Amino acid sequence: MSNKETLALDVYGTLINPHAIATRLREFLGDQANAFSQLWRTKQLEYSFRRGLMGDYQDFSVVTRDALEYANGVFSAKLSNDAKALLLADYTRLDVYDDVPAALAALRGQGRALYAFSNGAPGDLQALLSYAGIIDLLDGIISVHDVRSFKPDPKVYAHFNTPTNTRPEETRLVSSNAFDIAGAQACGWQTAWVQREKETRFDSWNPPQGRIIETLSVLTG
């Protein structure tokens, strides 16, 4: 992997574990916490896709809140307004994946350009990455908020290349999300799909054309 490549690092699911929220959910849902977390995340992404297609943008915190309301209804969890507010606040205090800090430090030591690239709103990303202790390892944060759409809209990937002064062919998306990898590939980017769990499958109709890795540490080699 060339040192000239700029790395666009997806945040939720790649640097930060969105299912760390299950720890808090167990206080309210017990053994259903993991299933609730999975549904919440699934609907969060679905709602972002819908809003992107409809041109009905709201920042990611609104999408996350709406998905929480959906999961609350499906599970008949009857979460109070205070409980929902606590869970949404915790979404800016999620755990970093174990492999991330050392890998980012090593990549930065190699002189790599590293940018967080996310559906999240700028303020939420700032808080999240600061809490995780990795914000100082990054050259900057690029949010979809500036173009008011969501991945995998081609406008989002084009936007990344503008403030970073990069070309698509010299940009590599690092993401655990198949839809994100597919979107970047369609825009001429290089990619590295992070397969964090062996049972995770990529879409058969549009397989990854770039690297497939299990941890970010592989990128340092």
- With a cut of 90, say whether residue 204 has pLDDT above it: no
CATH T-level assignment (fold) for domain 6-17+95-220:
Rossmann fold (3.40.50)
Entry pTM: 0.95
Where does the chain hold its CATH 3.40.50.1000 domain(s)? 6-17+95-220
Q: Could you give the residue numbers annotated as active site?
A: 10
The pLDDT value given to residue 1: 61
Where does the chain hold its CATH 1.10.150.240 domain(s)? 18-90
121-175 pLDDT per residue, tens = 999 999 999 999 999 999 999 999 999 999 999 999 999 999 999 999 999 999 9
Report the CATH number of the 18-90 domain: 1.10.150.240
How many Cβ atoms sit within 10 Å of the Cβ of residue 76?
6
Which residue in this structure is represented by tokens 């062919």?
169
Q: Which alpha helices (DSSP H) does the chain contain, by range?
A: 22-29, 33-54, 60-74, 81-90, 100-109, 122-132, 154-161, 178-186
31-56 pLDDT per residue, tens = 999 999 999 999 999 999 999 999 99
**Average model confidence (pLDDT) across the chain:** 96
- With a cut of 90, say whether residue 19 has pLDDT above it: yes
- With a cut of 80, say whether residue 3 has pLDDT above it: no
8 A C-beta contact, residue 18 and residue 94: yes
